[in-house]
Structure formats: C-alpha cells, structure tokens
Structure 1
Amino acid sequence: MIRTLPQAPPRTLPLALPRTLVDTHRIDLTAPYSTGWSVKAQDVVAAPGGDVYALYGVHRHTHGVAEDEPDPAKADFGYRIITWYSADGEVLAGALCCPSSGDGETTAVAGGSDMTLCVLPDGTLALGAHPDSTTLIAPDLSRVLATYDAKDERPFEELTSPGDGFAGSIAVTPSGRLLCANAEYGVWNYGNPLAGLVGLAAGGLSPTTKPVIEAIAALDPSPTPYRADDRRAHLQYRGAPVGPRHRPEPALTELLADEDRLSHWHDSRLGRPVPLAEDLFVVPVYAGTFRGGSRGQPFVFALVDDRGTMTGRLHGLHPWHDSPFTGFCFNLAADPHRGHAFHLNRYGLYAWNKAGVLRAKLDTTVKEFKPLAHFTLTTCSPEGELLLVHRKQHLVLRVPVPEDLGALAPAVEAALRAYTRQRTALKKRYAPVNWHWTHTAPVHRL
C-alpha cells in the first residue's frame, strides 16, 4: 500500500555562513573564488517532521601566506559547516568542525572525504566520511555523542591504535534498518580504501552500540592486497568478517561485465546506495573516468534486494544523451514510502517507479526546466520532497513530489517559480553578498 504523506509547499533555504566566522577570518565575500577561497555544498537531509540539516565546506588557501600566520584574518583556514533549519526554514543553529587552520584547534568529528548526512530513527544526526568513519551528533548540534573513527593511516604507517569505524554513508529504510556503503582495501588493486561494499544493519547505531553490517553486494570480485587486520568485526558476510574470498557473489561488476567490454568495469566506482523500498535498493555503479572527458561511459543504477540479488535496474537513460559524467552528477535519491527514485544531471531530472520504469524526464533544454541544470540533487525527505541545492546561489529548494510521477513536470515548474519569488524575499532579509549568505544563530564548535 502506498503511504500518503502530507506535503508542504516549496520552500527555499539559504546555505548561510556564521557571521562570527566571517568576522573572525575577515572573509571577503565579494572576492571571486579564483582568489583562493570557496563555499561548496556537500549534502542536505531532512528529518521526520520537516527539520533540515545542511553540510557544506568553506576554505581559504592563498599563496604567500606563512603557515604559522597567527592572525586569523590573514591565515588560511578550512571548516565543515552544519546548519540546522526548522520546518519553516528558520536557521536554528550552526556547527563548525574539522578545522584545517593549523592553529591548534581540535575536533571530535572524524574527518575524511565525501562527507554525507543521515538522520537516524531516534533523531540523532550521523555524519559519515570516507572511509567508514561515522560521527553521531545531537539533533540540536550542541555536541558530539560518539565518534566511530576508521583511522585510515594504512598507506602511510602502521596504526598505533586500531580504528573503530562504521560506514562511509548511511541511509534509513522505512522500518529503521541502515543501508550502508563501506570501503575496503585492494579494490581494483588500489592500496588505499575505496567504496566497494553495500550492507544492511538492523539498526541500533548509538553512542554505546555499533551493530553488525551484513554485506549484500560487492563491487570488485577479488580485491587485493588484503591483510588479516583489514577485516573488520562489524562488517560481515554470513556470520564471518568480509575478506577477499568471503564476500557477496557474484560481484556487481561480474553481473554487468557485458556492458563495459573495454575495461570490464576495472576502475569503476560504487555510488551511494539509496532505499527504494524496505527490501529493495538502488545501487549505482559508474565506469572509470578519463582525464579528457567521460561522457558516454557506461553506468548502471542496479536494483538490489535485501538478500543481495540484482533484480533489475532503472531503465531509460542513454549513456551519452543522459550522461551523469558531465559535471559528475552521481547522486540518486529515493522515496521508499512510495517507491519513487530520482536522478538529476545536466541534461534532465528523471523519475522512476519501483519497477524501474522511467515515468518522467524533465529535459533541461526546455525553457521551463533549464534552471534545473544549476541544481544538485541531494536526497528525498521523509515527506516526499526532493532537496535540491543551487551550486552558485547557495540555496536549498524543497520540491514537493506528487503521488503520480506523471504529474511531476507541473509540480517542478511550480517549485521553480516559487524559488524565484522566495529568493527575492530572502535577498531582502539577508542582504547576501555575491550570493553568500550569513546568519547570527548560535554556533557550536564540535
């Protein structure tokens, strides 16, 4: 049965910098990014009830500044920022973490690349980072509740203490199970960890409990090299830790081998999996990228059930005309309550039903939908909204999605019109400088 969810009208939120941060580092908001600073969104998620959390980074790195420069107004810096919004779009609080300024600041947050957000069933915010580090943060952003740090130092030196990671990214199924992406060493013979496993945990991730993740799908059939201490007790397959010869079979790339005859998916990458239903997930697989451009390279949005069986795929995308490699638009979103999946890239917004049938394509060459090319899709809210981030204007647009995907086009068109009106209202309220917004809400250092 389809779950009918209440929907709010489209809303627009600013990715605002804490005013205290701007003042402390004397950030010139009028300066172009070519001068050595930037703001970049990384993820946006919504909690049940409508609250929103946004994750983005800000940094400044300019040549000629001494590494030991003591004046924060002149020194280079970098932070990850998390901002908490109410359901109606008010900035409630912010948090700074992962400082890179070298001024002695420390953080309780496990750092890493490709950071993602997830709201756990109890409301706790989970911040994931590659490879397999997870930090649990209080919903009001006031403190770190627990840190599961993978301590990835293997390529450089032996660890003085073992890591205690969990997952690089997490998504929640309707019943509260955790759909995880995990890294492992030796994928395509690389000596550093790459995302290569998809797994399920029964839930219960907390400051005192780390559940076992059962691997259900693998990217590489035989990663090497693998050491005994690369196996992790919480990442298992059929009751024993995952290893090079004890893992889900066949690997996804073996099932797809005929579709990439040139490289047989060597150097391919695993995208972030999303739940399409309680027992069905979309697992993206992307062929390797080239320096000279990768448009036309194969990609598959595989449908994998909770037993690890590939049951199908999301159909209807052309490898050239609908390529996600243009601009590296690799995100997928899904509404597991209604069985809807979504993808946005430079060429269009695409929507599928649970059977993998393409139900809508909003072409960005069409005037009404041309603005979509400037947005990045992050996720789908529990209420069935798409969360889109404008890459240059640093704004989040919440797009309500109708029950019938055949009516998606007018719904998105209406949301884009609302975005224009709401953006004008936000400009009057916040007075942004070059599309850089600031706020004065409380800011916590994590």
Structure 2
Amino acid sequence: MSDDEQDPALANFAYRIITRYSSAGDLLASAYWRSGYRAGATVAEGGDMTLCVLPDGTPAVSALPDNTTLITPDLSRVATTYATRQGRNAFDEFTPGESFATSISVTPSGRLLCTVAEFGVWKYGNHLTNLVGVADGALTASSKPTIEALASLDPQPDHQREIDLRTHVVHQGAPVGLAHRPRPALTEQVPDEDRLSPWRDSRLKRAVALADDLFVVPWYGKTYRGGSRGQPFVFALVDDQGKMTGRLQDMDNWHDSPFTGFCFNLAADPYRGFAFHLNRYGLYAWDTTGNLRAKLDTGSAAFKPLTHFTLTACSPAGELLLVHNKQHLILRLPVPDDLNDLAPAVEQALSGYARQRAALKKQWAPVNWHWTQADAPLHQF
C-alpha cells in the first residue's frame, strides 16, 4: 500500500485478498499477496481474474492468458503456478506448455469447464480467450489434465506458429492451434446481429456449468469508447460435444444491456438447472431450455439496491453470492425451488442487508475502514 498516504480512503492498496469461510459464514483463514505484474510473483496474475474451488477443495486462481495458481485449502501457501508469458517476439521466449486455463468452473461430477486463450485472435498480436473445453482429470500441484476443446470464438486466429500449440489442449486427438480447432465456431452459429462488424473483435467470457453436459458460454460484440449499450451479446447454451443448442432468451440488446457497467458474469445452479445473470437493469433467471423464468427489474424501488452488487457465483446450497461494489460485503441470497418465488426471497434479503451490516460492524469493530478479525489465521504469499 502507499507509504505516504495515511487516509485509507485515498491510499492505493496494491494487494489482493482471498478469504475462506465455513458453511455457516464464519471466517476460517485469509491470505494476501502484492498485486501486479512482477518477477518472482507467487500468484500469476492477468486480466479477468477468477476464483474456483476444485473438487478436492483446492482454490484455483486463474487469469488471462491461461495463468492458473493453486493454493492450499488452508490458504497457508501457494501449491504451484501454471503460467505463461503474455509477449511473443524475437526477444521474448514463449513457454505455452507451462500454462493451464484462463478460467475454470466445476460441473456436478467434478469435470473442469475451462476457457483457454490463443495467440492472434481477431488478428491481434497477443493472447485473447478463444476456446471452451472440458478436462475430466484432476488438476494438482504435480500434474494437469488434458483439456478437450469443444468450441471456439474466432475460427481462424492469425499469425500462429508451432510454438503456439498447447500440448494439454486438444481437439480430436491433436493439439489445438494453427488451422486446427473446433468448427463451426460459436460466431458462425448465430445470425449476423452486428451489421457494422459481424462479431469481429467479440470477446469470450467465463463459461459456467448448467449440468454435467450443458454449459452457458457468454460472449459479446465489439465495444466502443463512446458507449456500447445496444451492442449484441449472446449467452449460448453449448453441450459437451461443442454444439450450440440454444441461448438464454428474452434479453433485449438495449433495455437489458450488460454493457452498462460491463456486467457479463453468469452463475448457475446445476443441481436444479437454473442459470442467473445480474446487470444494472435486473436479475434474470432461466431454466435448462433457456426460457426466462424470472426477471427482477431494478427500475422498481424494491430491487434497485441490486445495482450496487456484482453476481459472483451460486453456492452448492443454492444461494446466489452477491458482492457489494463499494462495501465489499457478501450477500448470500437463497434461491427457492420455484423461481416464481424468487422476487419475495430477493426482496427479503435486500431489506435485511443494512441491519446485518450494522451487526457486523459491532461484531468486527472496523478501524479506519479496515474490517479485521484477529482470531483467524492470516497468511502472506
């Protein structure tokens, strides 16, 4: 953090924190590390950082391009790091075989649903997320499983060479790269919705598992400096054979645009077959067929507080985990079995938020905006 700025409201905190809680919400342990791209960093950072808990309880932090760091379940140390370098030129050695995935999600049976970057996507001279795949083996500190690529975004990334092949990412038995990747690409399976630039410069985001063999894969069209509301986006339903079977329906490109606030996160409850999305205009819930089952409009007073939260995940207990954008508190939102009852459940959770926050302030006694709990282990990487 800044040494010359004492006001915590103004200081630049160059650290990331990961915290583990019990099922009852009690703090078990925390760990922190200095953030940023630097030599010798214990956690491999990058763009679009995400967190996933693997089937054996190991937290995995992933980031673009295909940087994955495994941390011990007690958060005491970094177990291993699978990482690669972003650059690639005559003066920069490129080691793609050391990387793993840009994001990871877990299916009910323990399969790893991954997104993977490629060089030259949309003719850019760097790595962008371009592949969706599934790994059926365990990811450990000593070994990584093979990812079977199921779908791609850009069907023909340019300027690739043999060194860009990742041996752990395969399609039909051969490493993905050069002219070999799943076809037709996702962008070839949807109508040309963007008349000015038909899906060129589109971006792939983190996929989530709606079932063991059904995934929701989000991507969005070209963005503009002057604002991108109204640009096309797709929340595609993709099976484990790479076929796009449908999409999450009934979202308008303008009135429901995730470009406002850049909210593209999805969450899924694979045990009940629900998919969720939260943006500045509402909270949306779908079933496995892609039918919209509920929409809570943030234009109403009851649900306007949702605009202050970010959707992060759905717990195994069927709770949506929302993080307040400024207060950094986690709101656990129980989802009823009948999505027709979602509105009163959300309204009740939001109405109790301020009361619960006041109780936490008394329990934790924050000092100068710092929420601390001395009896929980704190580790530094």
- Interval of TM-score (by shorter of Structure 1 and Structure 2): over 0.9
Deviation at 1:310, TM superposition (A): 0.3
Question: Helix, strand or coil: the match of 1:438?
Answer: coil
- Does 2:23 match 1:84? no
Aligned residue among 13, 33, 55 for 1:97 = 33
Tell me the residue number matched to 1:220: 154
For 1:435 and 1:407, locate their aligned partners in 2 and report how far apart those are by CA, in whole Å.
36
In structure 2, do the counterparts of structure 1 residues 84 and 297 end up closer, same or farther at CA, with 3 Å as the change threshold?
A: same
Deviation at 1:136, TM superposition (A): 0.9
Tell me the residue number matched to 2:360: 426
Tell me the residue number matched to 2:225: 291
Aligned residue identity for 2:208? V
In structure 2, do the counterparts of structure 1 residues 279 and 101 end up closer, same or farther at CA, with 3 Å as the change threshold?
A: closer
Give aligned-pair identity as a percent: 63
Deviation at 1:90, TM superposition (A): 2.3
- Does 2:203 match 1:272? no
- Does 2:74 match 1:146? no
Deviation at 1:96, TM superposition (A): 1.6
Gaps of 5+ in 1: 1-21, 38-58, 60-77
For 1:349 and 1:432, locate their aligned partners in 2 and report how far apart those are by CA, in whole Å.
31
Deviation at 1:152, TM superposition (A): 2.6
In structure 2, do the counterparts of structure 1 residues 106 and 164 end up closer, same or farther at CA, with 3 Å as the change threshold?
A: closer
- Does 2:314 match 1:374? no
For 1:301 and 1:160, locate their aligned partners in 2 and report how far apart those are by CA, in whole Å.
33
- Does 2:377 match 1:442? yes
Deviation at 1:257, TM superposition (A): 4.1
Deviation at 1:121, TM superposition (A): 0.6
Q: Is the 8 A contact 2:87 2:94 kept in 1?
A: no
- Does 2:110 match 1:165? no
- Does 2:197 match 1:263? yes
For 2:53 and 2:296, locate their aligned partners in 1 and report how far apart those are by CA, in whole Å.
29
Question: Helix, strand or coil: the match of 1:428?
Answer: helix
Tell me the residue number matched to 1:13: none
- Does 2:295 match 1:348? no
For 1:82 and 1:112, locate their aligned partners in 2 and report how far apart those are by CA, in whole Å.
16
Which range moves more in the overlay, 118-127 or 428-437? Answer: 428-437
TM, length-normalised to structure 2: 0.95
In structure 2, do the counterparts of structure 1 residues 234 and 160 end up closer, same or farther at CA, with 3 Å as the change threshold?
A: closer
Cα-to-partner distance string for 1:276-333 (whole Å, 9 max, x where unaligned): 1110000001001100000000011000000000000000101100000000001000
For 1:257 and 1:264, locate their aligned partners in 2 and report how far apart those are by CA, in whole Å.
9
Q: RMSD value over aligned CA atoms?
A: 2.0
In structure 2, do the counterparts of structure 1 residues 212 and 391 end up closer, same or farther at CA, with 3 Å as the change threshold?
A: same
Deviation at 1:431, TM superposition (A): 3.5
Which range moves more in the overlay, 252-261 or 331-340? Answer: 252-261
Gaps of 5+ in 2: none
TM, length-normalised to structure 1: 0.81
Question: For this pair of structures, how many residues does the alignment match?
Answer: 380
Q: Is the 8 A contact 1:343 1:351 kept in 2?
A: yes
Higher relative contact order (CA 8 A, sep 6+): 1
Question: Helix, strand or coil: the match of 2:285?
Answer: strand
In structure 2, do the counterparts of structure 1 residues 297 and 86 end up closer, same or farther at CA, with 3 Å as the change threshold?
A: same
Question: Helix, strand or coil: the match of 1:368?
Answer: coil
Aligned residue identity for 1:210? K
Question: Helix, strand or coil: the match of 2:316?
Answer: coil
Q: Is the 8 A contact 1:99 1:106 kept in 2?
A: no
For 2:273 and 2:153, locate their aligned partners in 1 and report how far apart those are by CA, in whole Å.
25
Deviation at 1:158, TM superposition (A): 2.1
Question: Helix, strand or coil: the match of 2:302?
Answer: helix
Question: Helix, strand or coil: the match of 2:149?
Answer: strand
For 2:155 and 2:342, locate their aligned partners in 1 and report how far apart those are by CA, in whole Å.
39
- Does 2:306 match 1:360? no
Aligned residue identity for 2:371? W
Q: Is the 8 A contact 1:270 1:284 kept in 2?
A: yes
Deviation at 1:394, TM superposition (A): 1.2
Aligned residue identity for 1:269? R
Deviation at 1:337, TM superposition (A): 0.8
For 1:408 and 1:109, locate their aligned partners in 2 and report how far apart those are by CA, in whole Å.
38
